[in-house]
Amino acid sequence: GNKVTVVLGAQWGDEGKGKVVDLLATESDGVCFFLLQGGNNAGHTVVVDGKEYDFHLFPSGIINPKAISFIGNGVVIHLPGLFEEAEKNEKKGLKDWEKRLIISDRAHIVFDFHQAVDGLQEVQRQAQEGKNIGTTKKGIGPTYSSKAARTGLRICDLLSDFDEFSSRFKNLAQQYKSMFPTLEIDVEGQLKKLKGYAEKIRPMVRDGVYFMYEALHGSPKKILVEGANAALLDIDFGTYPFVTSSNCTVGGVCTGLGVPPQHVGDVYGVVKAYTTRVGIGAFPTEQINEIGDLLQSRGHEWGVTTGRKRRCGWLDLVILKYAHMINGFTALALTKLDILDVLDEIKIGVAYKLGGKRIPYFPANQEILQKVEVEYETMPGWKTDTTGARKWEDLPPKAQNYIRCVENHVGVPDVFSSLVKWVGVGKSRESMIQLF
């Protein structure tokens, strides 16, 4: 059968996954399937023919007229958000998307009240603990809570008996109203809108399990999975509680799409040449100084979804190794190397210390992670513009050393193979250098 190629973030998100997916898609001529697992809070920007598209719920392959895009059961879907996003991108030239989009009938629905509750919970956390999680207020967390509490409603429910759906919707709304007395929900108004959306999406909805089975066992085709978020935002393996509500590591491909493990082929980790993080939480290699400011401004580090400035710091190989242990990357894409072009010296975090001793693991507990000391390796900067580089030989030797240093620490499977397969030195598709 067909193998699935998976592209996953290896840090705290915003590594440039869309670009790697885009690159892999252009290599294939046949029909391509794009799949998405994870929530719709992750924004990704894809530039095609000089036009910038912003996606949240759509897999970035939706631009490709030859491709089918599939939103898996692991994604939670806010229907007004889906159509709003479609409209925005239609204005930029996205055509016929509804003919190319397939939605799993097992995906859970994000309701407007989930979004309202998300905002109220953040306000509550701020009041009680003096800090919030920094969610995108898109209702993701509350929807996954409903899912885990088994009170959630799915696309299949919306499309079957509407009276049954309405009564379950009213019950759920009532539950939230009793928890949050200030919450106002226009139940009848929302149900009316949902009925309209039901008819709009009905042609796109399929049984996701059968759809995936046919894609895996049918004619040969390229199947690409784009994971939302990143390893350190995974509900199990991330820096809990400052994480998303789903599994965005490789296991999410099996559970979020219905793909058996033996169909998972290459797993590509996308890693930025430095580290960024949105919102609060421990960040050992963070640079709250002119280095951090420089990375922030040169790298245009603010969120697609929220417009928040991203916190910036040196590349942290402890995080990358940890992500590699969980995901088993077959290769890495190292993006935004050109952002480091102007630095005199560059540091790479190679180990964590607690009480002066190296620790051989990534601490699960936030308070401990706040206390770790980072051991750095310092390298001279290359002080050369790399944005014109198109092959390995074009990169300055010091930049090549930086890349080799990453490979050596993360652990190359054997002497003859490399781990970094692509190096990104700019925005365009052409600026991804392929090494092997």
- Which residues are designated catalytic? 147
Question: Hey, CA dihedral for 247, 156, 82, 215, is it positive or negative?
Answer: positive
Measured CA to CA, the distance from residue 121 to residue 124 in angstroms comes to: 5
Compute the C-alpha angle 103/109/110, nearest 5°: 130
DSSP assignment letter at 96: S
Measured CA to CA, the distance from residue 19 to residue 190 in angstroms comes to: 37
Which tokens belong to 77?
Answer: 């879907």
Distances (CA, A) of 189 to 170, 263, 370: 12, 44, 46
Which tokens belong to 267?
Answer: 């797993």
Q: Are residues 257 and 264 in contact, defined by beta-carbon separation less than 8 angstroms?
A: no
Buried-state track 179-199, b at ≥16 Cβ within 10 A, e below 16: ebeeeebeeeebbeebeebbe
Which tokens belong to 332?
Answer: 């890495």
Which tokens belong to 115?
Answer: 């979004």
The pair phi, psi for residue 52, each rounded to 5°, is -100, 120
Count Cβ atoms below 10 Å from residue 134 Cβ, excluding itself.
16
Measured CA to CA, the distance from residue 245 to residue 266 in angstroms comes to: 25
Question: Hey, CA dihedral for 45, 71, 250, 41, is it positive or negative?
Answer: positive
Measured CA to CA, the distance from residue 220 to residue 436 in angstroms comes to: 23
Which residue from 225, 223, 215, 214 is spatially nearest to 72, judged by alpha carbons?
225
Q: Are residues 113 and 176 in contact, defined by beta-carbon separation less than 8 angstroms?
A: yes
Question: Strands 345-354 and 357-359: what pairing?
Answer: antiparallel
Q: 225 has which bridge partners?
A: 6, 35
Helix (H) / strand (E) containing 4: strand 4-9
Distances (CA, A) of 241 to 46, 280, 335: 29, 10, 27
Q: Are residues 287 and 297 in contact, defined by beta-carbon separation less than 8 angstroms?
A: no
Q: How far is CA 431 from the centre of its chain?
A: 21
